[in-house]
Amino acid sequence: MHIVFLLTLNDSDSYTGAPYFASISSLKMGADLCHVFCEKNAGLVIKSYSPELMVHPYLRNSDSIGIDLKNQDRVEAEINKIVERVTSMFPRLHVLVVGPGLSRDEIMIETTKRVIVKAKENGMPLVIDADGLYLVQKNPDIIRGYPLAVLTPNANEFTRLCESVNVPCGKEYRDDVALKLSQAFGNVTILQKGSRDIISNGKEVLICDAEGSPRRCGGQGDLLSGACATFLAWGKNYEAKAWEYVIDYVPYLYVYKFDHFTGTRQIQILTTTFKSAFLCSQHGLLPY
């Protein structure tokens, strides 16, 4: 049986919902296994949400690292140890999700930067959202020119990313600014969330205006991140010929390069799901 793995990074017990939503969305979309790498105080909380998640409390933040932050040599050694522990599992994983629940803690950010570098060295697709986008905003070169990176900003995050690479982002440029932002980052995929979702790989722009839920509540972006990860994992394994396939289904599976079909398909799935959930319960994110 083919196995799909998702990895997401989380900071502390204050931010446990986001990695849960991303992970459970990936599982509901069709991933077989999901790994959540989190800060030690978050592990038990996240695990209690679902027995389906594989939770690894390997990460540390400034409060839990247990070292005087002024002792740079010891801090550096501890961060390297954490990175080695996380990345030692990369041969078993297919996609890395960065951002849901990450926080902006300096130890977490530095650890995550190094994990991203290792993921790129392994040719691993990246889905970057939330505080992962803050990391990219402050360090644009970390994903510049890496075509397997997918950035999923909301309106405010999109504006800040544009400012970080000097791309004009006035309202009059709204429909094509995603293309320019993608080009500025070396043709990463931009999936700009909004009332109209705009997707660009730096070569073309597609817009999804499918009606979604009338509610805009926390967690919807995390669900999209998890769905993106599953699609990318399918595509990576399709390209690696990990399974036999029916030729008629190839356009639905060949998503490793995250083409325009993939982006619009994911948005349509999620918006339709959110709308259905709202019609059923008037408040839910997902139908149960």
- Beta carbons of 33 and 4 less than 8 angstroms apart: yes
Query: What pLDDT does residue 264 have?
Result: 52
Is 120 labelled a binding residue?
A: no
Residues 6+ apart with CB under 8 A from 19: 8, 9, 10, 36, 38, 42, 46, 100, 101, 222
Is 159 labelled a binding residue?
A: yes
Residue matched to tokens 């986001």: 18
Is 201 labelled a binding residue?
A: no
Query: What pLDDT does residue 255 have?
Result: 40
Is 218 labelled a binding residue?
A: yes
Is 217 labelled a binding residue?
A: yes
Is 215 labelled a binding residue?
A: yes
The helix or strand, by DSSP H or E, that contains position 275, with its residue range, turns out to be: helix 260-281
Is 220 labelled a binding residue?
A: yes
Is 78 labelled a binding residue?
A: no
Cα separation, 245 vs 251, whole angstroms = 11
Element counts in the chain: helices (H) and strands (E): 10, 9
Residues 6+ apart with CB under 8 A from 211: 271, 275
Instruction: Name the pTM for this structure.
Output: 0.86
Residues 225-242 pLDDT 10s? 998 898 888 888 877 777
Is 25 labelled a binding residue?
A: no
Is 184 labelled a binding residue?
A: no
Cα separation, 64 vs 67, whole angstroms = 8
Is 263 labelled a binding residue?
A: no
- Beta carbons of 121 and 30 less than 8 angstroms apart: no
Question: Which fold is adopted by the domain 5-277?
Answer: UDP-N-acetylmuramoyl-L-alanine:D-glutamate ligase (3.40.1190)
What residues in the chain have per-residue pLDDT under 50? 1-5, 247-261, 284, 287-288
Is 242 labelled a binding residue?
A: no
- Beta carbons of 43 and 10 less than 8 angstroms apart: no
Is 200 labelled a binding residue?
A: no
Residues 188-211 pLDDT 10s? 999 999 888 899 999 999 888 877
Residue matched to tokens 């999804």: 208
- Beta carbons of 108 and 61 less than 8 angstroms apart: yes
Q: If you write DSSP's letter for every residue of 173-242 in order, what string do you get?
A: GHHHHHHHHHHHTTS-EEEE-SSSEEEE-SS-EEEE-----S---TTHHHHHHHHHHHHHHHHHHHHTT-
Classify burial at 145, counting beta carbons within 10 Å of its beta carbon; exposed 0-12, middle 13-18, buried 19 or more. exposed
Is 178 labelled a binding residue?
A: no
Is 193 labelled a binding residue?
A: yes
Query: What pLDDT does residue 15 have?
Result: 79
CB atoms within 10 A of CB 125: 26
With CA atoms as reference, report the closest residue to 25 among 13, 12, 8, 9. Answer: 8
Beta pairing partners, 128: 98, 151
Is 216 labelled a binding residue?
A: yes
Is 222 labelled a binding residue?
A: yes
> Percentage of the chain surpassing pLDDT 70?
78
